[in-house]
Amino acid sequence: MSLVNLKIDNIDVQAKAGTTILQAARQVGIVIPTLCAWTEINHTPGACRVCMVEVDGQRSLIAACVFPVGEGMVVRTNSARVRTARKMVVELLLSNHPLECNYCNRNGNCELQKVAEIVGLRDVRFEQPVFDKEEWIDHSSLSIVRDMRKCINCHRCITVCESIQTVSVLTPAFRGKDIRVSPAFDLPLVESNCVACGQCILACPVGALHEKEDIDEVWAVLQDRTKHVVVQEAPAIRAALGEEFGMPPGSLVTGKMIAALRRLGFDKVFDTNFTADLTIIEEGNELLKRVKEGGTLPMITSCSPGWIKFCEHFYPDLLDHLSTCKSPQQMFGALAKTYYAEFAGIEPKDIVVVSIMPCTAKKFEAARPEMTSSGYRDVDYVLTTRELARMIKEAGIDFNTLPDEGYDAPMGEYTGAGTIFGATGGVMEAAIRTVYAVVTGEDLPDLNIAPVRGLDGVKEATLAVGALGDVKVAVAHGLGNARRLLDKIRKGTADYAFIEVMCCPGGCISGGGGPIPTDNAIRQLRAAALYQDDALVQTYRQSHESPSIKKIYETFLKEPLGQKSHELLHTHYLRRGDELPQSTYEEVWENPERHA
Partner 1 sequence: MFRAHLLLCGGTDCTASGSPEVKKALVAELLKRGLSEEIKLVETGCNGFCAMGPIMVVYPEGVVYMSVTPEDIPELVEEHLVKGRVLDRLLYREPAVDAVIPTMQDIPFFALQELRVLRNRGLIDPEVLEEYIARDGYAGMAKALTSMTPEQIVEEILDSGLRGRGGAGFPTGLKWRFAASASGDVKYVLCNADEGDPGAFMDRSVLEADPHAVLEGMVIAAKAIGAHNGYIYCRAEYPLAIHRLNVAISQAKEAGLLGDDILGTGFNFDLQIYQGAGAFVCGEETALMTSIEGKRGMPRPRPPFPAVSGLWQKPSVLNNVETLANIGQIIARGAAWYSSIGTEKSKGTKVFALTGDVNNVGLVEVPMGTKLGTIVFDIGGGIPKGKKFKAAQLGGPSGGCIPVEHLNAPVDYEKVAELGAIMGSGGLIVMNEDNCAVDMARFFMDFCQDESCGKCTPCREGTKRMLEILTNITQGKGKEGDIEMLEQMAAVIEDSALCGLGQTAPNPVLSTLRYFRQEYEEHIREHKCRAAVCTALFKSPCQHTCPIEMDIPSYIALVRAERLEDAYKILLKTNPFPSVCGRVCDHKCQTKCRRGQMDEPIAIKFLKRFITDNASRPKITAVPVTRKETIAVVGAGPAGLTAARDLAQRGYKVTVFEELPQPGGMLRWAIPSYRLPRHILDGEIDDVRALGVEILCNTRVGRDIPFEKIEKDFDYIYLAPGAHKSQPMGIQGEDLQGVYGGVEFLRDFNNNETAWTSGEKTLGAKVAVIGGGNSAIDAARCAARMGAEVTILYRRLRQDMPAAVEEIEAAEHEGIHIEYLVAPTKIEGKNGKVKAICLEKMRLGDFDRSGRKRPEPIEGSEYILGVDSVIAAIGQMPDLSFVPQDSGISVNKWDCFDLAEDSKSQTSRAQFYAGGDAVTGPDTVIAAIAAGHQAADDIDAAIRLKNGEEPWEEPAEEHIDVPFVVDEESMEAPQVSMPELDAVTRIQSFAEVELGFSRADAIKEATRCLRCDAEI
Catalytic positions: 283, 286, 303, 323, 362, 365, 370, 508
* Minimal distance, residue 349 CB to partner 1, in Å: 52
Helix/strand/coil percentages in the chain, nearest 5: 45, 15, 40
What span, in angstroms and rounded, lies between the C-alpha atoms of 82 and 54?
6
Say how many residues touch partner 1, by CB under 8 A: 37
* Minimal distance, residue 120 CB to partner 1, in Å: 15
The number of angstroms, rounded, from the C-alpha of 46 to the middle of its chain's C-alpha atoms is 26
Q: Which amino acid is at 583?
A: S
The number of angstroms, rounded, from the C-alpha of 175 to the middle of its chain's C-alpha atoms is 31
* Minimal distance, residue 17 CB to partner 1, in Å: 13
Q: Are strands 498-502 and 470-477 parallel, antiparallel or unpaired?
A: parallel
Q: Counting contacts by CB under 8 A, is residue 115 touching partner 1?
A: no
Burial category of 528 from C-beta neighbours within 10 Å (exposed 0-12, middle 13-18, buried 19 and up): middle
Q: Counting contacts by CB under 8 A, is residue 98 touching partner 1?
A: no
* Positions 251 through 280 that interact with partner 1 (CB under 8 A): none
Instruction: Using the minimum distance from each CB to partner 1, give the nearer residue, 171 or 372.
Output: 171
130-138, 149-157, 222-230, 471-479 -> range binding partner 1 (CB under 8 A): 149-157
Among 178, 216, 293, 470, binds partner 1 (CB under 8 A): 178
Instruction: Using the minimum distance from each CB to partner 1, give the nearer residue, 78 or 372.
Output: 78
Instruction: Using the minimum distance from each CB to partner 1, give the nearer residue, 52 or 503.
Output: 52
Among 118, 121, 137, 179, binds partner 1 (CB under 8 A): 179
* Minimal distance, residue 37 CB to partner 1, in Å: 11
Q: What is the DSSP string of 298-364?
A: SEE----HHHHHHHHHH-GGGGGGB--BPPHHHHHHHHIIIIIHHHHT--GGGEEEEEEES-SHHHH
Q: Counting contacts by CB under 8 A, is residue 152 touching partner 1?
A: yes
85-93, 205-213, 223-231, 302-310 -> range binding partner 1 (CB under 8 A): 85-93
Instruction: Using the minimum distance from each CB to partner 1, give the nearer residue, 176 or 396.
Output: 176
Helix axes 479-491, 305-314, angle to 10 degrees: 40
Among 126, 350, 393, 521, binds partner 1 (CB under 8 A): 126
What span, in angstroms and rounded, lies between the C-alpha atoms of 115 and 267?
43
* Minimal distance, residue 150 CB to partner 1, in Å: 14
Among 88, 137, 190, 367, binds partner 1 (CB under 8 A): 88
Selection from 418, 325, 421, 319 nearest residue 370 by Cα: 325
CA dihedral 146, 148, 149, 155 (to 10 degrees): 120
Q: Counting contacts by CB under 8 A, is residue 401 touching partner 1?
A: no
Cβ contact 199:512 at 8 Å: yes
Q: Which amino acid is at 426?
A: G
Q: What is the DSSP string of 173-193?
A: ES-GGG-EEEEGGG--GGGTT
Q: Counting contacts by CB under 8 A, is residue 176 touching partner 1?
A: yes
Q: Counting contacts by CB under 8 A, is residue 60 touching partner 1?
A: yes
Among 22, 43, 67, 238, binds partner 1 (CB under 8 A): 67
* Positions 20 through 59 that interact with partner 1 (CB under 8 A): 44-50, 52
What span, in angstroms and rounded, lies between the C-alpha atoms of 316 and 574?
8
How many C-beta atoms surround the C-beta of residue 399 within 10 A? 21
Q: Counting contacts by CB under 8 A, is residue 81 touching partner 1?
A: yes
Q: Counting contacts by CB under 8 A, is residue 64 touching partner 1?
A: no
Among 11, 17, 40, 84, binds partner 1 (CB under 8 A): 84
Give the three-state DSSP class for 61: coil
107-115, 169-177, 185-193, 539-547 -> range binding partner 1 (CB under 8 A): 169-177
What span, in angstroms and rounded, lies between the C-alpha atoms of 275 and 272?
5
Site string for partner 1, 316-345 (x = CB under 8 A): ------------------------------
CA dihedral 414, 449, 517, 140 (to 10 degrees): -70
Instruction: Using the minimum distance from each CB to partner 1, give the nearer residue, 181 or 494.
Output: 181
* Minimal distance, residue 590 CB to partner 1, in Å: 20
Cα dist. 435→19, 73, 309 in Å? 47, 60, 27
Cβ contact 202:40 at 8 Å: no
Instruction: Using the minimum distance from each CB to partner 1, give the nearer residue, 206 or 334.
Output: 206
Q: Counting contacts by CB under 8 A, is residue 177 touching partner 1?
A: yes
* Minimal distance, residue 46 CB to partner 1, in Å: 4
Cβ contact 404:259 at 8 Å: yes
Cα dist. 170→84, 165, 192, 360 in Å? 33, 11, 9, 17
Among 63, 260, 287, 300, binds partner 1 (CB under 8 A): 63
How many angstroms separate the first and last alpha carbons of the chain?
Answer: 51
Q: Which residues bind partner 1 (CB under 8 A)?
A: 44-50, 52, 60-61, 63, 66-68, 81, 84-85, 88-89, 92-93, 95-96, 125-127, 152-153, 155, 171-172, 174-179
